[in-house]
Chains A and B, each alone.
Chain A
């Protein structure tokens, strides 16, 4: 099978599935019917040619497959009649004009579902990834992931989680779950928990695609633009983060000429447009930080003053350990490593987090407190992390030990 056909079916599939879920009101039935339609497409299209509107073709075929299934499985004739009437008479276009994929995304990311379930469902239904692919990305077995997905679908059905886009006044409650899901998919891809740092970079690409879809469907919601800008500006730097041996390269030492200038420009433009609408949020602030880093011609020319200010603002929204450690690193660029150490000391619950130890080790190294720095690197290395981060920290510790021996 040719790659483009597979890719097209995957992308069109998300759109078709979204429509089928609306028409049938049943995730599992919609998915089974789509799968059958895709099989027919794979048999027919290579020699009969791709239809002019593949999505419409897939929708009609899948709708018929769904009807077949309902007829086969209906235990009561009234149920069958009702389903046939619903499916046959239903217009392919949603009555409220909302894109079905947006509806699907809000349902898959409903706050009544666990974050694990949201991520898996979004990737499965909108992203079109297979259960095996999602299982690999999140380091769980395929049966366990399959169970997670089917439980979530079961809950949507039994608890009647609605298939709709929330009203404007509900968005403050509902949007964070959707944005958070896409962001988690991105960070899992951008910073793989195990193996090489870039082992799951396909997940980052998928997250950028989802963020773009969300922005296209809700262009007036600032945080949607903010999330897309954040992902674009961050993903733009992904190619230069490792050396040939797979070891992490710090921002200061990366080859900036290899960054994706078009993506950075797009992120900056998105962010500029949101500033005019004056409604900030955590994704816009993070995007602003990412854009400042990506737009700096050299590390030395980075606008640390602005970045520190933004981190202080971000900490106001998200007082998490990640944000506070990042803020400490930025403040140390302005006010020196002592300031960084002071701030790190106030972050709690990080005893087993390698990034806290590695930030501390770096501050101590810069202050020539070699023995303490070596201790901090060893503590960092005793935590769990991916191979790229580990190779980097081992290198730093090795340099430190070699320097103090000579």
Chain B
């Protein structure tokens, strides 16, 4: 079965915001999804990420062995930020879209569904 990454993007403006009650509500929604998708054997992995304020971007300039440059912050400042991801084990893209639409991030933000690359050898 093909695997997909469901990348959860949420508005940068709401990152790390919200009252404890709102967080509890969102966590409850994620737990509900986790239980449902877990019971269906769809979830093959997944993590939540700390806010982009904790991100460090690394680049080696001038090719392999070149100078290492680290910068504070995410790779690109965008209106929507990657907040976490699931790895979904699905029959096909329709199935993956069906599950992605049930991830709470689909209504709090957007989900990008990307097939994982399969290496032949």
Q: Residue A158 at the B interface, CB < 8 A?
A: yes
Listed A/B pairs (11) with beta-carbon separation below 8 Å? A75-B121, A76-B120, A158-B115, A159-B93, A159-B115, A160-B91, A160-B93, A161-B92, A161-B93, A162-B93, A166-B94
Q: Find out whether the CB atom of B97 lies under 8 angstroms from the CB atom of A160.
A: no
**A161 proximity list for chain B (CB < 8 A):** 92-94
Q: A170 CA to B120 CA in the complex, in Å? A: 33
* Tally of B interface residues using CB under 8 Å: 12
Q: A159 CA to B121 CA in the complex, in Å? A: 19
Q: In chain A, what residue has the closest Cβ to B3?
A: A160
Q: Given A158-B115, A159-B115, A160-B115 in contact, is the A112-B92 Cβ separation under 8 Å?
A: no
Give A residues with C-beta under 8 Å from B: 75-76, 110, 112, 158-162, 166, 170
Instruction: Name the distance in Å between B79's Cβ and chain A's nearest Cβ.
Output: 22
Contact code string B93-118 (vs A, CB < 8 Å = 1, else 0):
11001000000000000000101010
Q: In chain B, what residue has the closest Cβ to A79?
A: B120
Q: A159 CA to B100 CA in the complex, in Å? A: 14
Q: A160 CA to B3 CA in the complex, in Å? A: 10
Q: A160 CA to B117 CA in the complex, in Å? A: 12
Q: Residue B38 at the A interface, CB < 8 A?
A: no
Q: In chain B, what residue has the closest Cβ to A163?
A: B92
Q: A170 CA to B94 CA in the complex, in Å? A: 10
Q: Residue B16 at the A interface, CB < 8 A?
A: no
Q: A162 CA to B93 CA in the complex, in Å? A: 7
Q: Given A158-B115, A160-B2 in contact, is the A75-B120 Cβ separation under 8 Å?
A: yes
**A76 proximity list for chain B (CB < 8 A):** 120
Across the A-B interface, give the 5 residue pairs with the lowest CB-CB distance, nearest first.
A162-B92, A160-B92, A160-B2, A159-B115, A161-B93
**A112 proximity list for chain B (CB < 8 A):** 93, 97
Q: In chain A, what residue has the closest Cβ to B118?
A: A158
**A159 proximity list for chain B (CB < 8 A):** 2, 4, 93, 113, 115
| Most interface-central of A76, A158, A160, A166 (chain B CB within 10 A) | A160
**A75 proximity list for chain B (CB < 8 A):** 120-121
| Contacts A110-B93, A112-B93 supplied; 9 other A-B pairs, CB < 8 Å | A158-B117, A159-B113, A160-B92, A160-B93, A160-B115, A161-B93, A162-B91, A162-B92, A170-B94
Q: Find out whether the CB atom of B94 lies under 8 angstroms from the CB atom of A162.
A: yes
**B115 proximity list for chain A (CB < 8 A):** 158-160
**B117 proximity list for chain A (CB < 8 A):** 158
Q: A110 CA to B117 CA in the complex, in Å? A: 21
Q: A161 CA to B91 CA in the complex, in Å? A: 10
Q: A110 CA to B93 CA in the complex, in Å? A: 10
**B121 proximity list for chain A (CB < 8 A):** 75
Q: A112 CA to B4 CA in the complex, in Å? A: 14
**B91 proximity list for chain A (CB < 8 A):** 160, 162
Q: A151 CA to B94 CA in the complex, in Å? A: 19
| Most interface-central of B94, B113, B117 (chain A CB within 10 A) | B94
Q: A82 CA to B9 CA in the complex, in Å? A: 39
Which residues of chain B from 1 to 22 have any CB-CB distance to chain A below 8 Å in the complex?
A: 2, 4
Q: In chain B, what residue has the closest Cβ to A161?
A: B93
Q: In chain B, what residue has the closest Cβ to A75?
A: B120
Q: A112 CA to B92 CA in the complex, in Å? A: 12
**A170 proximity list for chain B (CB < 8 A):** 94
